Amino acid sequence: MTTSPQDTGFQVEVQIASGLAGLVDEPDLLRAVTAALRHGGAPAGTALTLVVTDDEEIRQLNRQFRHVDTPTDVLAFPAAAAAPFVEAPEQPLYLGDVIISHPRAVAQAAEAGHSVQNELALLAVHGTLHLLGHDHTTPQEKAAMWAAQNAILASLNHKIER
């Protein structure tokens, strides 16, 4: 588990499932999430949790919360949707959780012809943008979200476009 350094202005906790720790570049994921938060204008102190896990865990979450009984690449759970309570002023704004399937990232990276770490960064940015209110249900929303994703990834020297 890694927490972002205080100098980023954000509180990002990265949790990697056992057995995957050596396969994931946690500092790179922290940079990706931090870049997405900055791009989205998140206030200093904003917090979120990023989890990298396996297909079975993400399938269970997908089934439980979206009623879709298959694994997926990334899920975003905004905290405001789960508990619309007023935050104490001294507490950071907690955006929510981003859950990434490592096996889906591996498969998608192979299909797209780029590294697994680039795919993980893409999924981390994508999930963070969802927590910041982006969506892709309409062509206009998708174009705006993909443009934001591509700009953030380019700023990190991850050459990926979707």
DSSP code, position 3: E
> For residue 108, what are the contacts with CB-CB under 8 A and spacing of at least 6?
73, 119
Q: Which residue has the higher pLDDT, 3 or 96?
A: 96
CA distance 117 to 123: 10
Domain positions in the chain are 2-155
Amino acid (1-letter code) at residue 156: L
CA distance 33 to 77: 15
**pLDDT single digits (tens) 19-68:** 998 999 999 999 999 999 999 999 989 999 999 999 999 999 999 999 99
Is residue 10 over pLDDT 90? yes
- At the fourth CATH level, the homologous superfamily of domain 2-155 is Metalloproteases ("zincins"), catalytic domain (3.40.390.30)
CA distance 83 to 61: 18
Mean pLDDT of 4-15: 78
pLDDT of residue 25: 94
Among 105, 101, 107, 18, which Cα is nearest to 60's? 101
User: pTM for the complete prediction?
Assistant: 0.90
Q: What is the mean pLDDT of the chain?
A: 89
pLDDT of residue 93: 87
DSSP code, position 70: S
